[in-house]
Structure 1
Amino acid sequence: MQKLSLPLAIIIAAILVGGAILYDKPGSAQGGTKQNDPPARQEVSLDDDARMGEELAPVKIVEFSDFQCPFCRSFWQDTLPLIKKNYIDTGKAVFVYRDYPLSFHAAAQISAEAAECAKDQNKYWEMHDKIFSEQSKKGQGTITYGESDIKKWAGEMGLNMVTFNQCLTTHKHKSEIEADFADGSAAGVSGTPNTFINGIAVVGAQPYSVFEQVIEEELKKVSSKKDSFFK
């Protein structure tokens, strides 16, 4: 298994040891502090989940997330827009959202299924953003909402409600969500958000600068390989 380069490993180790990383995990509805050794590179599939950007982009970013997790909301609100602007929209990275609904978030599973049902009607990201934006209205805490709220939002988006309701009622995408959860657990995920950048784990709602550092390191490796090829 390939290890991180020394400079990047030192940077991530310093962050993990030096400060609290906000993330949700079983056993603590308020999140916790993650302190680990520098992570090894993991094999994480893009699967067939919702994505932004070109699949052939050199940097693959896979986020395991929970729609009711307030720290996932922080990533969505503060960090993802900058990643999108600087790396996804420029063709340097592809971003994939995979579900990791935590058991203590009552609406996490149904939210994940609802987003997949919206995806069937080409409105995944609209539902994704709607759920997180509703969290934002309540501040830092996890809001309480249920299936009736989700259906209301789906109607506001203009989804075909007969199709959407049938999808949700029959749990059409339950197995897909379960597969995401299993893949995340196999890669060492135990809380959310947990993001992999070309297999390198960035745990918690880290500031944008942390993601930027890892992405830039990966882009340098791509550039170095190209330079070597043409020499």
Structure 2
Amino acid sequence: MEPDSEPSSNDKVPSFFLKDDKITEDSRFEKIKKNDSSEPSLKTTTQPSKLTIHWPSLGIGAVIAVACIFFGIMMANMVDTESTQILDEITINEIGSIKKPTFSSFTDNSSPILGDRNAPLTLIEFGDYQCTFCNKFFHETVESILTNYVETGKVKILFKDFIVVGQDSMHAANAAHCANDQQMFWQYHSILYNNWAGEGTGWVSSEQLNKFANTLGLDMDKFSNCVSELKWKKLVNASHDDGVALGVTATPTFFVIDQNKNVMKITGAQQYDVFKKVFDSSLEK
């Protein structure tokens, strides 16, 4: 898509599924429960957040001891090879990073929840809106996950920003959170990926971001001010820092958390079958 082209639209409220650069209706989005909060929480490194919109939704008690966090959470690091997938279990405190990760590193500074907040599994994606393989995951894998696991109440999804491509990615991420101020995060998330035009090609411009918002019927004065002020820059940076603490080095990177707070790490734009295997195995525990 050319940077100055118009996104397609119709007269109805757009849904999560936006295909072929066109906003198309899909009733399945309306079946998926979404978090009601319009503002994501911001965790700072100097004063940890005591309560976020996501913490109770994930069923995580605020009284979890630090020792439980560091020694009770197990992570399996999935490494893709030419012929097999190797699982290597490590404890969370063995992850090399510039700061100690905590359980809130997974859940703070994120999108609203997509799905049933009581779903037994949580899928967390660290992504970049300009990232080629994030775009690949969105178009090739996410729909099957939504159909088979989110709509059925088995999985809920959180998206966390991890900026790797450049400053335009920051602007895109901020714009998605600006849309969230008007309860339209996931719709805006979708229109970004459905109008993706490569890495560093200039398609993420203020003009285009505003066009996307206008297509979704957002209050343009509020949205434009939010975009120009980079209102959510600190939150995006905090999300990136969370990723670094968890050992994220590239996008997309995923974490699957089960009801027992076991964590599985999936690296890269894996095929649907990889996610299915992890989900089904976790649900059987």
TM normalised by structure 1 equals: 0.77
Contact preservation (8 Å) 2:111, 2:185: no
Alignment deviations for residues 103-154 of structure 1 (CA, whole Å, 9 cap, x no partner): x33410000000000011111111111110012xx5xx43431121111111
Contact 1:49 1:96 in 2 (8 A): yes
Q: Name which of 114, 135, 147 aligns with 1:73.
A: 135
Change beyond 3 A, Cα 1:19–1:76? farther
d(CA) in 1 for partners of 2:188 and 2:91? 31
SS, match of residue 90 in structure 2: coil
What is the distance in 2 between the residues matched to 1:205 and 1:41?
A: 24
1:202 match? 266
Q: Aligned pair 1:63/2:125, yes or no?
A: yes
Query: In the TM superposition, what is the alpha-carbon distance from 1:36 to its structure 2 partner?
Result: 8.3
Other structure's SS at 1:52 match: coil
* Alignment-derived partner of residue 218 in structure 1: 282
1:131 aligns with 2:203: no
| Structure with higher helix content | 1
Please give the secondary structure, in 2, of the residue aligned with 1:95.
strand
Unaligned runs of 5+ in 1: 21-34, 222-231
Q: Provide, for residues 187-230 of structure 1, a one-character-per-residue CA deviation record: whole Å limited to 9, x for no partner.
A: 00011000001121100000010011111111001xxxxxxxxx
Query: Which structure shows the bigger proportion of residues in strand conformation?
Result: 2
Number of the residue aligned with 1:40? 90
Q: Shift of residue 41 of structure 1?
A: 6.0
| Paired-residue identity, % | 30
- How many equivalent residue pairs? 195
TM-score (norm 2): 0.63
Contact 1:111 1:150 in 2 (8 A): yes
Contact 1:41–1:200 (CA<8 Å) still a contact in 2? Answer: no
Letter of the 2:90 partner, please give it.
Answer: A
Deviation of the 1:85 alpha carbon: 0.7
CA RMSD across the alignment: 2.3
Gaps of 5+ in 2: 1-70, 93-102, 258-262
Aligned to 1:24: none
- The answer on 1:17 being equivalent to 2:97 is no
The 1:84/1:40 distance shift into structure 2, 3 A limit, reads farther
Q: Does 1:144 align with 2:199?
A: no
1:179 is paired with a residue whose SS is helix
1:158 partner letter: G
The alpha-carbon deviation at position 18 of structure 1 amounts to 2.4
Check the 8 A contact 1:117/1:167 in 2, yes or no.
yes
CA distance in 1 between counterparts of 2:150 and 2:237 reads 27
Structure 1 distance, partners of 2:216, 2:124, is: 26
Amino acid at match of 1:121: Q
8 A Cα contact 1:39 1:201, kept in partner: no
Q: Confirm whether residue 180 of structure 1 aligns to residue 239 of structure 2.
A: yes
Structure 1: distance between partners of 2:82 and 2:112: 34
